[in-house]
Amino acid sequence: MWRRGLVLAVLAVALGLLMVLHADVPNSIGNLGSLLETFLPWLGIIGIPLLLIAALLRRSASALVALVLPAIVWANLFGGQLTDKSGARGDLTVATHNVNAENPDPVGTAKKVADSGADVVALEELTAKALPTYREALAAKYPYRTVEGTVGVWSKYPLSDARPVDIKMGWTRALRATVTAPDGQRVAVYAAHLPSVRVKVKAGFTANQRDNSAEALGEAITAEKLSKVVLLGDLNGTMNDRSLAPVTAQMRSAQGAAGDGFGFSWPAAFPMARIDQIMVKGVDPASAWSLPSTGSDHLPLAASFKI
């Protein structure tokens, strides 16, 4: 039993080490490190059960013992996300949704987002053709709005100081606005849609443009004068991705702090990664959750905060 399955034992140890040392996987070759970190939870979700089944079939005691390493590592990295950390709703509820430029049902999409009870809604990937539909569908619940390029913010509370944010793309896919809550609290809300990434055979993980935009967005948030900041949007990257550090190093994930589960948002048909994000600084997340699917290839997300 101890001599059988030595290859499986080696694979189990290698899996554990890969999760421990993921930050040391270089990005110099096709952004391999960022690609690994995008789907990092799945190394354990898929790898550990497969190796366990193989070890049991092989009746290998050494492989079973070796599997303790990746199991402990995965639990240390992601075990906290399996517990429900959400509480009662706070003072401000927000939602974000990449509505998909090819969405066949913008009216239904707007209704589902509005039905979340959010006080502030950010939409990304707005098209000139669909924008009037969203404006009309959201007008009753959200009297205040601002749209810059392909991103927009709708609010139940007054908006001011709205302006585009340059994220080095050549066209506008980010904005900033101040939301004034009924008690006078002012919150800076950023809505952003970072460049898409692809996996190509020769080029690898094509994330360089996204990384440059993340750096520019991080600089804008660093320069923000208000102490309470909320970031909503499709960042085309996860909290684990080192290349989003200019943003993630200074903000908290609402899902990570007050969610239930991983909160994967893409693709909507079978979510595998949370590339849509709600992040905050200067406010305390109270709860975070995913909304029902719409006509988009992304799931909408919502979160509530104590401000």
In which band, very low, low, confident or very high, does the pLDDT at 32 lie, cut at 50, 70 and 90? very high
Mean pLDDT of 88-97: 93
Distance CA 184, CA 157 (A): 10
Residues 21, 137 within the same domain: no
In a domain, 117, yes or no: yes
The boundaries of the domain holding residue 107 are: 92-306
115 and 51 in a common domain: no
Joined together, the tokens standing for residue 268 give: 């909507």
CA-nearest of 231, 228, 234 to 218 is 231
Could you report the per-residue pLDDT of 11-29, keeping only the tens digit for each? Answer: 999 999 999 999 999 999 8
User: Helix (H, G, I), strand (E, B), or coil: what is residue 191?
Assistant: strand
Residue at 181 is within a domain:
yes
Question: 194 and 250 share a domain?
Answer: yes
Instruction: Clarify whether residues 36 and 122 are in a common domain.
Output: no
100 with 65, same domain? no
Q: How many CB atoms lie within 10 A of CB 174?
A: 26
Helix (H) / strand (E) element for 78: namely helix 68-78
Residue 89 has pLDDT above 90, yes or no: no
With respect to residue 249, please indicate whether it lies within any of the assigned structural domains.
Answer: yes
- Among 55, 82, 109, give the residue marking a domain's end: 82
Q: What is the domain-level CATH number for residue 193?
A: 3.60.10.10
Q: In whole angstroms, what is the distance from residue 253 CA to residue 267 CA?
A: 20
Q: Is 277 helix (H, G, I), strand (E, B) or coil?
A: strand
Q: Go through 51-64 and write b for each residue having 16 or more CB atoms within 10 A of its CB, e for each that does not.
A: bbebbeebebebbb
User: Does residue 185 share a domain with residue 54?
Assistant: no
pLDDT tens per residue, range 139-185: 999 999 999 999 999 999 999 999 999 999 999 999 999 999 999 99
87 lies in some domain? no
List, in sequence order, every residue forming a beta bridge with 163; answer none if it has no partner. Answer: 176
Write out the E strands in the chain. 92-98, 120-124, 144-148, 151-155, 159-164, 174-180, 186-193, 199-200, 204-205, 229-234, 252-253, 276-281, 284-290, 301-306
Quick one: 14 and 99 in the same domain?
no
Same domain, yes or no: 11 and 146: no
Residues 302 and 158 in one domain: yes
What pLDDT shows up at residue 163? Answer: 98
Q: What does the pLDDT look like over 183-239, one tens digit per residue? A: 999 999 999 999 999 888 777 899 999 999 999 999 999 999 999 999 999 999 999
- pLDDT (0 to 100) of residue 203: 77
Same domain, 135 and 30: no
Domain stops at, among 62, 82, 102: 82
Q: Number of folded domains in the chain?
A: 2
Tell whether 1 is covered by a domain.
no
Residue 202: what pLDDT?
73
For the segment 36-78, what is each residue's pLDDT rounded down to a tens digit? 999 999 999 999 999 999 999 999 999 999 999 999 999 999 9
Residues 101 and 209 placed together within one structural domain of the fold: yes
User: Are 39 and 63 found together in one domain?
Assistant: yes
What does pTM read for this prediction? Answer: 0.94
Pairing of the two strands 144-148 and 151-155: antiparallel
Taking residues 240-254, report their average pLDDT.
Answer: 97
| Side chain identity, residue 70 | P
Residue ending a domain, choose from 17, 52, 82: 82
In the predicted structure, residue 274 carries a pLDDT above the cut 80 = yes
